[in-house]
């Protein structure tokens, strides 16, 4: 009668599993009866630099726009383009972009027209605009551009709302 394989949680080290306890699981390894590691991985990282990854630009004239990685140049830079958002094809450093969870399936070095068709077909811009991340960015930007009088009106509306809630709670406590 053979025993069930032992499951260890640890880190990958020279093709073997070291016993360790880490929350979040760096790597799950199974040892068979002979003690050989079968190497089943569980990664903590979900967003990778890859062709087709939708990115958010953090600097430059198109800051705040989304684009797609069309080609990886080296470990510091990638070619990006956003034909639906007005971002021209250009080399861009990784330190000035943020990877988003969105991804489109495209071949490396795809042309502008074909990329635009793929983005429109998959509705990437609409997916981005409906995401919580984009919604929060839009709200922050709107708050940032509000003038003094508009912020005063917002403050008055908040006071009125608080007063209505306070009166409703007091009425509910009495009853």
pLDDT at 45: 83
- What confidence category does residue 23 fall into, taking pLDDT thresholds of 50, 70 and 90? very low
H or E, element range at 81: strand 77-82
Q: Is the pLDDT of residue 76 over 90?
A: yes
Residues 112 and 61 in one domain: yes
Residue 67's domain is classified under what CATH number?
2.30.30.30
Q: Quick one: 15 and 61 in the same domain?
A: no
37 and 59: one domain? Answer: no
Give the domain extent around 15: 6-41
Structure confidence by residue, pLDDT tens digits, 111-157: 999 999 999 999 999 999 999 999 999 999 998 998 999 999 999 99
pLDDT at residue 140 in the model: 92
For residues 126 and 57, state if they share a domain.
yes
- pLDDT-based confidence at 7, cuts 50/70/90? very low
Is residue 48 in a domain? no
Angle at alpha carbon of residue 29, lines to 25 and 31, rounded to 5°? 150
């Amino acid at each position: 009668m053979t025993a069930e394989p032992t499951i260890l949680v640890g880190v990958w080290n020279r093709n073997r599993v070291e016993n360790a306890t880490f929350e979040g699981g760096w790597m799950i390894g199974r040892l068979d009866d002979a003690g050989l590691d079968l190497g089943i991985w569980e990664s903590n990282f979900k967003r990778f630099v890859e062709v087709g990854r939708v990115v958010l630009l953090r600097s430059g004239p198109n800051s705040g726009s989304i684009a797609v990685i069309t080609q990886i140049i080296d470990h510091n830079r990638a070619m990006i383009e956003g034909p639906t958002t007005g971002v021209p094809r250009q080399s861009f450093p990784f330190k000035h972009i943020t990877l988003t969870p969105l991804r489109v399936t495209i071949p490396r070095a795809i042309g502008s027209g074909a990329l635009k068709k793929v983005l429109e077909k998959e509705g990437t811009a609409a997916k981005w605009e409906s995401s919580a991340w984009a919604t929060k960015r839009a709200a922050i930007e709107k708050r940032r551009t509000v003038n003094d009088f508009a912020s005063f009106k917002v403050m008055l509306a908040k006071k009125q709302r608080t007063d209505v809630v306070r009166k409703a709670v007091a009425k509910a406590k009495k009853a």
